Amino acid sequence: MKIPKIELENFSNLVTGLIEQSDNIEALCYALNRLTLEELERVKTYFSGSATRVIAIRQREIVMGTFLSGMLIFLFNMYQSNLIVFFFWVLFSVTCVLEFLRLLIAKKPIHKHISLAFDRTKYDRIVSITDIILNKRYENELQKTIEKFSPSEDVESLKDTL
């Protein structure tokens, strides 16, 4: 399925505008209310991607590392007279120190990770507002459909006379 380039450019302009307006909730609501139902669905599927928050990943790594290191310290204290356990503990300690030094020296884009997490909160805000607007529009469409197919009072009065 090919999408025309003009349509992609329009959608990218729409996405860029929504990201710029995501700090102001009123402007974001106004912009989202002006969109059609199809555009709202496209915006929601675009922004509700499967990206994970960096903070949750780092927290999980810290908890797992803390558990493993605590368990290894317990085992070392329990079996410290054993020579193999002592060498294993020394190897583990050196590995931990080297990993810590690598984190200090490495040029990891920590600020980039923080900005990505901040952008993800903006996207979540856009998705939640879009979801609210879509639900209201779906309710209105359902109500219109129900009213269209429900029998009117004139038909009921004709049934009563027959």
pLDDT, tens only, 7-53: 878 888 888 888 888 888 888 888 888 888 888 888 888 887 654 55
To 10 degrees, what angle do helices 83-105 and 54-78 make? Answer: 150
**pLDDT number for residue 136:** 92
Where along the chain do its domains lie? 5-146
Three-state DSSP at 157 gives: helix
To 10 degrees, what angle do helices 37-47 and 110-149 make? Answer: 150
Nearest 5 degrees, angle CA 124-CA 125-CA 131? 85
pLDDT, tens only, 47-106: 876 545 556 666 777 777 788 778 777 877 787 778 887 788 788 878 877 877 776 676
- Give the distance from CA 71 to its chain's centroid: 33
**Six-digit token string for 62:** 């810290």
Distance linking the first and last C-alpha atoms of the chain: 56
Q: Is the pTM for the entire model greater than 0.85?
A: no
Of 62, 88, 61, residue with least CA distance to 75: 88
DSSP 150: S
Q: For residue 137, give the H/E element and its range.
A: helix 110-149
Asked if pLDDT for residue 144 goes beyond 70, the answer is yes
